[in-house]
Amino acid sequence: MPELVITVARFGFLILLWIFVFTVVGVIRRDLFAGARSGRLVAAPRGVGAPAGPPAKPAKVKRGRAAHQLVVTAGQLAGTRITLGEAQITIGRAEDSTLVITDDYASARHARLVPRDGQWYVEDLGSTNGTYLDRAKVTGPTPVPLGVPIRIGRTSLELRP
């Protein structure tokens, strides 16, 4: 075999090897972007109804924008979203909760979200560590504005339009 052919084969193989590697990376990359396109969560507006003002302010209902989704923004289930319907949403570690959270600080039946006349109310179900709407502890049924975090242990939930 001529030396030239062997040299070409030798380097050709190495180049082909790297072409393979980069093709695999390309396939993986396309996969990632396919995932990102459907991930509306990534582009979610930050600080909608940011908790700066007095406690009364976030409690004001924004008319004309109904909540359609419940999004988990922090904690183990971050990124999870649930489409809201007419039914109430129960949150807790119990298996029959609508949203089962495996948070260390959550109770079995921790809290629930109840719709009333187009407005969602959060209600603590006697949990050990409490439910917080933004910074305020939830004691009774409290209306939940869009974009204000409901905190349960390390988990944070938000209503989104």
Partner 1 sequence: MTVAAVPAASPASTGEQSGVRLARSRRNAELSLLLLAIVLVAAYSATVEANVLDTVTSDFWIPAATLGLVFVGLHLVIRWLAPFADPALLPAVALLNGIGVGFLRRYDLAQAAPEEREHLAVFAGTGGRQLAWTLGAVVLAAGLLAIMRDHRSLSRYAYTLGLAGIVLVMIPAVLPARFSEINNAKLWIRIGGFSIQPGEFAKLALLAFFAYYLVRKREVLSLASRRLLGIDFPRGRDLGPVLVVWLISLLVLVFEKDLGTSLLYFGMFVVTLYIATERVSWLLIGLILFFGGAYLAYLLGSTVGGPFANFYLRAEIWLDPFGDPYNKGYQLVQGLLTLGSGGLFGAGPGGGQPTLLPEVQTDFIFAGIGEEIGLFGLSALLVVYLLIVERGLRAALAVRDSFGKLLAGGLAFTLGLQVFVIVGGISKLIPLTGQTTPFLSAGGSSLMANWLLIGVLLRVSDGARRPVTGGGPVPRPSGGPPEQLHGAPTEVIRP
Applying CB under 8 A, does 108 fall inside the site for partner 1?
no
Please give the sequence-ordered ranges of beta strands (E in DSSP) within 3-154, or none if there are none: 69-74, 81-83, 89-92, 99-100, 111-116, 119-124, 132-133, 136-137, 142-143, 150-152
* Stretch of 48-56, 90-98, 113-121, 131-139 contacting partner 1, by CB under 8 A: 90-98
| Distance of alpha carbon 83 from alpha carbon 90, whole angstroms | 13
Tokens of residue 70, six digits: 């419940």
Applying CB under 8 A, does 110 fall inside the site for partner 1?
no
Of the candidates 66, 74, 80, 141, which one interacts with partner 1 according to CB under 8 A?
Answer: 80
* Stretch of 27-35, 108-116, 118-126, 140-148 contacting partner 1, by CB under 8 A: 27-35
| Distance of alpha carbon 41 from alpha carbon 77, whole angstroms | 13
Tokens of residue 23, six digits: 């093709």
Applying CB under 8 A, does 24 fall inside the site for partner 1?
yes
Task: Point out which residues bind partner 1 (CB under 8 A).
Answer: 1, 5-7, 9-14, 16-21, 23-25, 27-28, 30-31, 34-36, 38-42, 77, 79-83, 85, 87, 89, 95-100, 102, 104
